[in-house]
Copies of this chain bind each other. A is one copy, B any other.
Amino acid sequence: MKKNVLIIGAGGVAQVVAHKCAQNNDVLGDIHIASRTKSKCDQIIATVHDKNAMKQPGVLEGHELNALDIQATCDLIRKTDSQIVINVGTAFLNMSVLSACLETGAAYIDTAIHEEPGKICETPPWYGNYEWKRAEECAQKGVTAILGAGFDPGVVNAYARLAKDDYLDKVTDVDIVDINAGSHKQYFATNFDPEINFREFTGTVYSWQGGEWKSNAMFEIGKEYDLPVVGKRMAYLCGHDEVHSLAKNMDGADVRFWMGFGEHYINVFTVLKNIGLLSEQPLQTAEGLEVVPLKVVKACLPDPSSLAPEYEGKTCIGDFVKGIKDGKETEVFIYNVADHAEAYAEVGSQGISYTAGVPPVAAAMLIATGDWDVKKMANVEELPPHPFLGILNRIGLPTRIKDADGDRALTF
């Protein structure tokens, strides 16, 4: 049954979500986009029409919304008769949007963990601080809520589940590796909201090893990976959402997340952090103005969606999953390669937005078809991976595997 979708947010990821919903509006029905700034919704809608992205004639409308206002969000869900909400606004909105879904019965999908403005990198598991506290209410009300359904978290969680189900008898290690080998040609820029990007890296780096949470500092532990297409790259142990659910759902296997950084990024990050400019805590200027340094850094940096036209190169994101198969130590690397310029040609966004924005649309399609309409809260690895990865193969993010049998595309 077709289900109408309300997209919350109007940044680079929302643009991808809008295009992909439009390309699949035979399954998804009406499409609505809501943001504090309605003109940003209208710009996205214009690009959808420019690309003739609507698969069939249908509704595509923009709305002004402060999604921290739960009642206003409920009203818009009801007014637009949306059965699915894809929340790709700032991570500060998650709990208020989820509340609106619980009140209206709409299914909820997000792509990143909830954050509170004044806190970073809270006690692990992160999902336990906000999301999982609402799990029982979701189950009671029969509301489907799929958490972290972007690429990482999201697709990489499905990769881990796939490895566990199909390739290994017992999993011992999940190492998620995210390499962006693209170039945006700016002095410095982040690929998504700088505020959220930096908040990920200024606190404790949590990993799940030996059955407990380990703490490290950012850039403390680096490792060179040699990956398909992008080649040899330095990656660093980072804190990331998916570690916090996979730690619970992979039968006790170690779970680590590694992100690739060049020396220039590390240098800029180190300068800004050491000076205190990445702080999320307000300070006072000599003139008495209260301001959060990180928000000023964000205002100075390029808008991530502005990077798209010049962006070139590829991303490689995947899971090294190690364990035992038929009594032997075995490792598989399940991954995707995306291309910045191809993403821009298709949907007008760069590759990082593309990899984050396509998966929640696949999740929405699976809610519409019923496969993932589980009437409860779930992280992606708790859902069957085959239908999800099958849709992603068709709509732009094909899965490959590299193991003892070679490097090849996977079909589902």
A interface residues, Cβ below 8 angstroms from B: 187-188, 195, 267-268, 271-272, 274-277, 279, 283-287, 289, 291-293, 295-301
Contacts and interface: CB of A to CB of B under 8 A. Distances in A.
A285 B276 contact: no
Given A267-B267, A267-B271, A286 B295 contact: yes
A1 B103 CA distance: 84
A397 to B, nearest CB: 29
A283 B300 contact: yes
Given A267-B267, A291-B291, A286 B274 contact: no
A272 B296 CA distance: 12
Given A268-B271, A271-B271, A296 B293 contact: yes
A220 to B, nearest CB: 17
Given A267-B267, A291-B291, A298 B285 contact: yes
Given A275-B301, A285-B292, 14 more contacts: A188-B274, A272-B275, A277-B296, A277-B297, A279-B300, A285-B291, A285-B296, A285-B298, A286-B295, A289-B289, A289-B295, A293-B299, A293-B300, A296-B296
A301 B187 CA distance: 23
A146 to B, nearest CB: 27
A297 B271 contact: no
6 contacts: A188-B275, A277-B296, A277-B300, A285-B298, A286-B299, A289-B291
**Residue among A276, A300, A301 facing the most chain B CB atoms (10 A cut-off):** A300
A275 B268 CA distance: 9
A284 B289 CA distance: 13
A298 B286 contact: yes
A184 B187 CA distance: 30
